[in-house]
Amino acid sequence: MFQTGLFAEIKSRLLMREVVERYGFEVNRAGYILCPFHSEKTPSLKVYESGFNCFGCGVSGDAVRFIALLHNIGDYEAAKQLDGDFGLGLSAVDYVSRTTNIVKIKYARDVVTSFETWIDGAYRAITDLNRATPPRPPVVTGLQAAKFLALQSMADFLFNELFSARTKAQQLQFYKNYHKTIEKINEVLYEHNTN
Ligand SMILES: [Zn+2]
């Protein structure tokens, strides 16, 4: 998830606007903020959906670049800061935020709630898969039946993995390792229940 993956993930999850607002900039109706990179009285830094451009001093880039320039840190550090400040949970690295406010706390709480919901859902999916009677041709194709059986043979293993993941960090690791598998399980269960 790190390096290029982290940058792409941040871009896809954060709007440039919410990033600048998070750090105290006020976006005017035309979509401009006062540029922090040169001295000015009239906003000339345009905020786009996933980037910015200052028409005064010519600086441009994405959210990561903005934070890197703002704090005079590298892109990698900036990405980690965004990850931490928005509670994205992309990096398992210990992180101490440079800024704390109520927005961050609320956001983090929402992320925790949705993660717990995901864990609950994963339990349910694995249990349902374990209990389900495998579908057979001609109700489903041989390939679909094989896919179902292959996943079902993993149910015990997955259940144990999830059951033994007690700390948040372990659960996060489970998510990282198996969220695609859980997605597939939900897909086959959906097909199974609609057949
Ligand atoms: Zn500027």
Ligand 1 centroid to residue 30 C-alpha, Å = 16
The 3-class secondary structure across 96-123, one letter per residue, is CCCCCCHHHHHHHHHHHHHHHHHHHHHH
Quote the pLDDT of residue 97. 44
Q: What is the pLDDT of residue 95?
A: 41
Distance 99 CA to ligand 1 centre (A): 23
Lookup result for tokens 């840190």: 73
What CATH superfamily classification does 4-99 receive? Zinc finger, CHC2-typedomain (3.90.580.10)
Could you state, in chain order, the average pLDDT of each consecutive group of 10 residues for the chain (195 residues)? 65 92 93 94 94 95 93 86 86 47 58 77 88 82 87 90 84 89 88 75
Q: How far is the CA of 44 from the centre of ligand 1 (A)?
A: 7
Give pLDDT, residue 1.
37
Tell me the domain boundaries of the chain. 4-99, 103-194
